């Protein structure tokens, strides 16, 4: 990639909402929100709250980190937090599957999406200097 292309790419990402990883994490969290609406009432204050919280925290930590790009270490820490929340969401998805609240195809789709999100976040962390100023 030429230097001009890199500068152009940086200019096009002005807000955390411009990041593909943010948009995909938001969409995945909304899918989890929809799926968990059908869970039994006894799971409302345990599994449902936990998986919704962790899936939303992927986005929240990413947005917080985006505003702290001036501090490389803080940015990297928030990206790491996002990855941890994505992993926690995968754990809750596994419980959802084991409890038969979701079907295998739903699990596979969401679990795969979180694997891809973690890979994207890991790449951001490894290349954090490109995002920071």
The pLDDT value given to residue 12: 72
Domain membership of residue 68 as a residue range: 14-131
Does residue 3 sit within a domain?
no
DSSP annotation of 16: G
The pLDDT value given to residue 129: 92
Alpha-helix residue ranges (DSSP H) falling in the chain:
3-12, 20-36, 49-67, 72-98, 104-126, 128-131
Does residue 8 sit within a domain?
no
CB 36 within 8 A of CB 102: no
pLDDT digits over 40-72, tens only? 999 988 999 999 999 999 999 999 999 999 999
The model carries a pTM of 0.88
Does residue 120 sit within a domain?
yes
The pLDDT value given to residue 3: 38
CB under 8 Å to 68, separation ≥6 — which residues? 74, 75, 78
Does residue 38 sit within a domain?
yes
Does residue 126 sit within a domain?
yes
Confidence of residue 11 (pLDDT cuts 50, 70, 90): low
Does residue 2 sit within a domain?
no
The pLDDT value given to residue 14: 81
pLDDT digits over 88-125, tens only? 999 999 999 999 999 999 999 999 999 999 999 999 99
DSSP annotation of 70: T
For the domain that residue 125 is a member of, what is the CATH number? 1.20.1440.60
Does residue 73 sit within a domain?
yes
CA dist 11 and 33 (Å) reads: 33
The pLDDT value given to residue 7: 36
Tally of domains in the chain: 1
DSSP annotation of 45: I
Does residue 117 sit within a domain?
yes
Confidence of residue 133 (pLDDT cuts 50, 70, 90): confident
């Amino acid at each position: 990639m030429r230097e001009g292309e890199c500068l152009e790419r940086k200019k096009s990402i002005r807000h955390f909402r411009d990041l593909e990883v943010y948009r995909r994490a938001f969409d995945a969290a909304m899918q989890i929100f929809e799926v968990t609406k059908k869970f039994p009432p006894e799971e409302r204050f345990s599994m449902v709250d936990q998986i919704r919280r962790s899936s939303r925290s992927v986005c929240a930590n990413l947005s917080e980190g985006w505003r702290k790009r001036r501090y490389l270490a803080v940015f990297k820490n928030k990206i790491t937090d996002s990855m941890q929340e994505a992993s926690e969401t995968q754990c809750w998805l596994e419980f959802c599957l084991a409890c038969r609240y979701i079907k295998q195809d739903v699990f596979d789709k969401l679990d795969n999406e979180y694997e891809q999100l973690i890979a994207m976040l890991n790449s951001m962390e490894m290349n954090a200097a490109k995002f920071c100023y």
